[in-house]
Amino acid sequence: MFCKKCGSILIPKKDNGKTILQCPKCGYKEVAEAVELKEQRKKTETEEIAVINEDFETSSVVEADCPKCGNDNAYFWTQQTRAGDEPETKFYKCTKCRHIWRDYS
């Protein structure tokens, strides 16, 4: 609902045990009819983010020339890095020196 005085959106609040709608700009108050106010606790705990170990190796090994050391074997995986209607990006990780490079084709 919107404020009848200034047009701002009305915020539901508790006032003397009743739920009212109050304008944050001008202070206009209106008794709320059929409005249920649910309280939510703010999340104070921080979630841990899983970090993949640098030594993570995929199971797929393909023949690919490493631009850094010249090794001819690399781990291979794909990942969507651009818009959904564009092809996936191919990633390679050298089995010898662990250098990572991309193939956009």
Same fold, 1-38 and 61-103: yes
9-12 contacts at long range (C-beta below 8 A, 24 or more positions apart)? 12/37
Q: Where are the domains of the chain?
A: 1-38, 61-103
Domain 61-103: CATH architecture, name and number where available: Single Sheet (2.20)
Q: E strands within the chain?
A: 11-15, 18-22, 29-31, 61-63, 73-79, 89-94, 100-103
pLDDT tens digits, one per residue of 39-75: 666 666 666 766 666 565 556 889 999 999 999 999 9
pTM of the model: 0.44
CB neighbours of residue 80 within 10 Å = 10
Q: Is 85 a catalytic residue?
A: yes
Q: Is 86 a catalytic residue?
A: yes
What percentage of the chain carries pLDDT values higher than 90?
15
CATH number of 1-38: 2.20.25.10
pLDDT the model gives residue 35: 61
Among 30, 57, 86, 103, which one carries the catalytic annotation?
A: 86
Question: Do residues 65 and 76 touch, judged by C-beta distance below 8 A?
Answer: no
pLDDT the model gives residue 74: 92
